Structure 1
Amino acid sequence: MAKNNNGKMSREQAGEKGGKATSRNHDQEFYEEIGKKGGEATAKNHDQEFYEEIGQKGGEARTRQRKNNKSS
């Protein structure tokens, strides 16, 4: 793993290393459970307007992606 000029890992490198270690130590069920918990926490902390906004943004991004694929 590459080091910064000061000989330390970057945050990105540390995150990647931690993510790889986590994936070696846990199975699909672990990820399903933390995803479910995260979804429940998000639902508890946000209202319908939040979901409408992110749905709108997702739709716009998907439209741009489709347009880019057609022009390629």
Structure 2
Amino acid sequence: MAEKDNEKMSREEAGRKGGEATSESHDKDFYERNGKKVGEATSESHDKDLYEKIGKKGGEATSDGDNN
């Protein structure tokens, strides 16, 4: 959906454009640092049950042949 004079872009399009702009202006180290911060924050705010659920879903998706 292209933005026109009186039309707003969708959230999806805004997110995509923002992601593209970020990827153009940041390198691999940026994503590694931020991924580490998010992982640490998640581990502090959640217990092992969260990781067990994530692992179970990943295992189910892998065994089903899904790529999601």
TM-score (norm 1): 0.80
Give the aligned partner of residue 44 of structure 2.
Answer: 44
Q: In the alignment, residue 64 of structure 2 is paired with which amino acid?
A: R
Q: In the alignment, residue 31 of structure 2 is paired with which amino acid?
A: Y
Instruction: Give the aligned CA root-mean-square deviation in angstroms.
Output: 1.8
Greater per-residue helix proportion: 1
Q: Which runs of 5+ in 2 are unaligned?
A: none
Q: By how many angstroms is 1:2 displaced?
A: 2.1
Alpha-carbon displacement from aligned partner over 1:7-49 (angstroms, at most 9, x marks no partner): 1100000001101111111111101000000000110011111
Structure 1 moving runs of 4+ over 3 Å: none
Q: Number of residues paired by the alignment?
A: 65
Distance 1:62 1:14 in 2: 31
Give the aligned partner of residue 59 of structure 1.
Answer: 59
Residue 62 of structure 2 aligns to a residue whose secondary structure is helix
